[in-house]
Amino acid sequence: MPKLIILGSSNAIPDENHENTHMVIVGKKRTVLIDCVSNPILRLQKAGVDFNNLTDLILTHFHPDHVSGVPLLLMNMWLMGRRNPLNIYGLHHTLDCIEGLMGFYAWSEWPDFFPVAFYRLPMQEMTPVLESKEFRIFASPVQHMVPTVGLRLEFIRSKKSLAYSCDTEPCAQVIRLAEGVDVLIHEAAGAFHGHSSAAQAGEAARQAGVGALYLIHYPTGKYASGDLVAEARQRFDGPVNLAEDFMAMEFD
């Protein structure tokens, strides 16, 4: 403890072995889901994480491949009799859209619904999101098609750190967010509007001086092409890996 489990590593089009990109941080007191897609209850069960222990949900941006599981998560928690509050964090745009989406499901009329607290984050670099005895989480806006944050996690006891670029074009904010971290999880969807290639992820890792790079949000199944790790290694000397579903990283 604490550890991070990759729950999905694919870009917007998943395949049998790669769900849309999302992950969970499991601590002693806090379990933090980062984005929420598909069937969250099944995914967490498969990862060995007790669904009832979820305390916090961070939503990076309002694209379906990052938030489509939110209504089902909230409904399943309610049907399972949850009483504990759930904290949800995101930019104003993201949470306004989530509240609008839940409005279509008329969630305000679901009887005995558990308390949900929304924390709206400013578009400001290194905004503190949450702090526990085990870790601190910060958010910085990155460069995507809609307002989006990347995240930085600092583990208190081990002093290890991790950054997650989320969906972004190469930008200075990601370099600053990831500066000197042990692990950078960087997207590698491709070099097009709002995204980065594996080579650009490698370049970000080099500029930020990180310990190791994990590529995520990459094309899978019939859309997979080329050796992404080799591509990133052309720009970054350190260890490079592909993030895979259910991969766990310990930060003790």
Number of residues interacting with Zn ion: please give it, by CB under 5 A. 2
Binding track, positions 55-74, relative to Zn ion; x by CB under 5 A = --------x-----------
Residue window 120-159: x/- pattern of binding to Zn ion, with contact defined by CB under 5 A: ----------------------------------------
Which residues does 123 contact at the CB level (< 8 Å), separation at least 6? 91, 141, 147
Cβ at position 171, least distance to Zn ion in Å: 14
Nearer to Zn ion, 25 or 149 (CB): 149
149 vs 210, beta carbon nearer Zn ion: 149
> Quick check: helix, strand or coil at residue 250?
strand
**218 neighbors 198 (Cβ within 8 angstroms):** yes
Task: Decide if residue 231 touches Zn ion (CB under 5 A).
Answer: no
Alpha carbons within 13 angstroms on the beta-carbon side of residue 63 total 20
Minimal distance in Å, beta carbon 228 to Zn ion? Answer: 18
Question: In which order are the strands placed within the sheet that holds 161-164?
Answer: 127-131, 135-141, 149-155, 161-164, 183-187, 212-216, 240-242
Q: Minimum distance between the CB of residue 106 and Zn ion, rounded to whole angstroms? A: 27
Partners of 213 in the β-ladder? 184, 240
Amino acid at 54: L
Where is 204: in which H helix or E strand?
A: helix 198-208
Rounded least distance, CB 65 to Zn ion, Å: 6
* Helical ranges in 39-137 per DSSP H: 40-46, 64-67, 70-79, 92-104
Nearest distance in Å: CB 7, Zn ion: 16
167 vs 203 by CB, closer to Zn ion: 167
Over the window 160 to 199, marking each residue x when it contacts Zn ion by CB under 5 A and - when it does not, the resulting string is -------x--------------------------------
Residues of the shown chain interacting with Zn ion in the complex, contacts defined by CB under 5 A:
63, 167
